[in-house]
Structure 1
Amino acid sequence: MSQPRSRTPLVLGIIGGVACLGLVLVLVIGGVAGFLILREGSDPGAGAATEEGPTEGTGGSTGSGEVVAPPGAAADQPYVELSTSDDGPVVDVYLDFLCPHCQTFEATQGPDLQEMAEAGEITLRMHPRPMLDATSSPAGYSGRAANAALCAAAEDPANWYPASAALFAQQPGSAGLPDEELIGIVGEATSVDISDCQAEGTYLPWLEQVVEPEAQQAVPGTPAVLIDGEQFSGDLTSSGSVRKAVEAA
């Protein structure tokens, strides 16, 4: 009579097969997970905001993250110098393109400042602040408007005056204006195409990282005028008031 065959090899074979199948499944799952992680990490659209700033929802520029100062200015210089005088006073002007009082300041003092600058009577330094960026919806209008004016001034400093005047003349409410309109306003005022400069947000990092921190230490708000480092305390809404103070300096 033949002896019954042991079932042990069969059981061991089954167990071994199941173990191999489990190992294969683990490897497959691990490979798929690794692929998904790598794809997510390399997807430029993955995640929300980065160091370079949040994405604008209305065609706004975000800036490259690299600090680029306007032509003629050092990277750590918190102003753009529109004119230089050998013996006249230094006039620093702090403004924000969303500030209603700055709109009044532009109307009452802007022409005098331009005239004195072009005559070489003063060293005129403009500090365009993104101070009210957080108050516009979407956020960021002050900086984008300042960038638009700087893009024009980068071609020729004289372009600052018509660009600034036009931006204040068409100052929006808290909703701000999209880049397309800013490009049109500045382009019409200066005949300069700032499309690429505005789309790239060329000067936004400089405005946010250099201009605004210095302004927060120097003045309480906008508009503000310093004459040879001393804050003008007269009536900024009165035509000719800054000119008189400059002449008396």
Structure 2
Amino acid sequence: MNRSRTPLIIGIIAGIACLGLVLLIVLALVIGGVLFASEDGGNDGNDGRTPSPAASGELVAPPGVAEDEPYLEVSSAADGPVVDVYVDFLCPHCAAFHETHGEDLAQLARDGEITLRMHPRPMLDANSTPAGYSGRAANAAVCAYAEDPEQWFQAEAALFENQPGSEGLTDDELAEVISEATGSDVSSCIAEGTYLPWIQDVVEPEALESTQGTPAVLIDGEQFAGDLEEPGALEEAIAAG
């Protein structure tokens, strides 16, 4: 009689073991799903953080700038001419332009003699390795402007003085350049590419329609046709206008 019960007991034990295994598998799947949902954060795998403007494509204009304005108004003058300057921070000719005319423009702006509008372009994004340095450098300068419009001049000068080759600068290096020049910590603004959508979707399309390249200067809407390599030539043209 004991022998006849043995297979039954074994069957019961095996059934219980199988049921326990099934319960463990189900429990593991439930826990795994909860953990995945928690880590996903409901925002497309951005580690539970709010997506950056650049990653989400959200267009954020700098403070005081309308979303459809393709420039930073660094200074304003009631009676002076409007001077639009188009630059790319990877452009060697732009660095030479800044060395020749940068201080003149900054002084005219600080003295309130001109309305200075800066157009930081991502024109040469494809020329860096990895691609995108022009836009990232432009964003770094705009980040400084967002802290204080007066910081544009220091940021612009520092970016041209530290102009790299085609390898570009890393975000950390850009943040260090801006910090040393302005005293502002804009590392998160640089890392998140806060103003990149504005630079790419607003600044660049207008620049492509208005200019042939960089550097370029418009005085009251008219292209400066003088010698950009001649010191003082731009200042004289502005005064004459």
Smaller-chain TM-score range?
A: 0.7 to 0.9
Q: Which has the higher helix share?
A: 2
Say if 2:188 is the partner of 1:187. no
Rounded Cα–Cα distance in structure 2 between residues aligned with 1:244 and 1:43: 55
CA distance 1:100–1:82, shift in 2 (3 Å): same
Matching residue of 1:214: 206
DSSP 3-state at the match of 1:157: coil
Rounded Cα–Cα distance in structure 1 between residues aligned with 2:103 and 2:223: 20
Matching residue of 1:107: 99
Matching residue of 2:13: none
Does structure 2 retain, via aligned residues, the 8 Å contact 1:73–1:80? yes
DSSP 3-state at the match of 2:160: helix
Rounded Cα–Cα distance in structure 1 between residues aligned with 2:44 and 2:98: 45
In structure 2, which of residues 70, 76, 94 is the aligned counterpart of residue 78 of structure 1?
70
| Deviation >2 Å, runs of 4+ | 42-45, 61-64
Deviations 1:155-184 (A, max 9, x none): 111100011101000100011110000000
Say if 2:236 is the partner of 1:244. yes
Rounded Cα–Cα distance in structure 2 between residues aligned with 1:247 and 1:63: 44
Q: How does 1:119-138 map to 2 (within 5 A)?
A: 119-138=111-130
- TM-score (norm. length: structure 1): 0.76
Rounded Cα–Cα distance in structure 1 between residues aligned with 2:124 and 2:132: 8
Matching residue of 1:230: 222
Say if 2:158 is the partner of 1:166. yes
Matching residue of 1:44: 45
Structure 2, unmatched stretches of 5+, are: 1-32, 38-42
Structure 1, unmatched stretches of 5+, are: 1-34, 46-51, 54-60
How far residue 64 of structure 1 moved from its aligned partner, in angstroms, is 3.8
Deviations 1:102-157 (A, max 9, x none): 00011001000000000000000000000000111101000100111111111111
In structure 2, which of residues 61, 84, 89 is the aligned counterpart of residue 97 of structure 1?
89
Deviations 1:69-119 (A, max 9, x none): 111110010000000100000000000000000000110010000000000
How far residue 43 of structure 1 moved from its aligned partner, in angstroms, is 6.5
Does structure 2 retain, via aligned residues, the 8 Å contact 1:108–1:237? yes
CA distance 1:147–1:63, shift in 2 (3 Å): farther
Does structure 2 retain, via aligned residues, the 8 Å contact 1:63–1:204? no
Rounded Cα–Cα distance in structure 1 between residues aligned with 2:191 and 2:167: 19
Residue identity (%)? 62
CA distance 1:63–1:128, shift in 2 (3 Å): farther
How many residues of Structure 1 are paired with residues of Structure 2 in the alignment? 200
How far residue 237 of structure 1 moved from its aligned partner, in angstroms, is 1.3
Cα RMSD (Å): 2.2
- TM-score (norm. length: structure 2): 0.78
Rounded Cα–Cα distance in structure 1 between residues aligned with 2:171 and 2:156: 15
In structure 2, which of residues 138, 142, 146 is the aligned counterpart of residue 150 of structure 1?
142
How far residue 239 of structure 1 moved from its aligned partner, in angstroms, is 1.1
Instruction: Tell me which amino acid in the other structure corresponds to 2:153.
Output: Y
Instruction: Tell me which amino acid in the other structure corresponds to 1:141.
Output: Y
CA distance 1:238–1:73, shift in 2 (3 Å): same
Does structure 1 retain, via aligned residues, the 8 Å contact 2:139–2:190? yes
CA distance 1:205–1:98, shift in 2 (3 Å): same
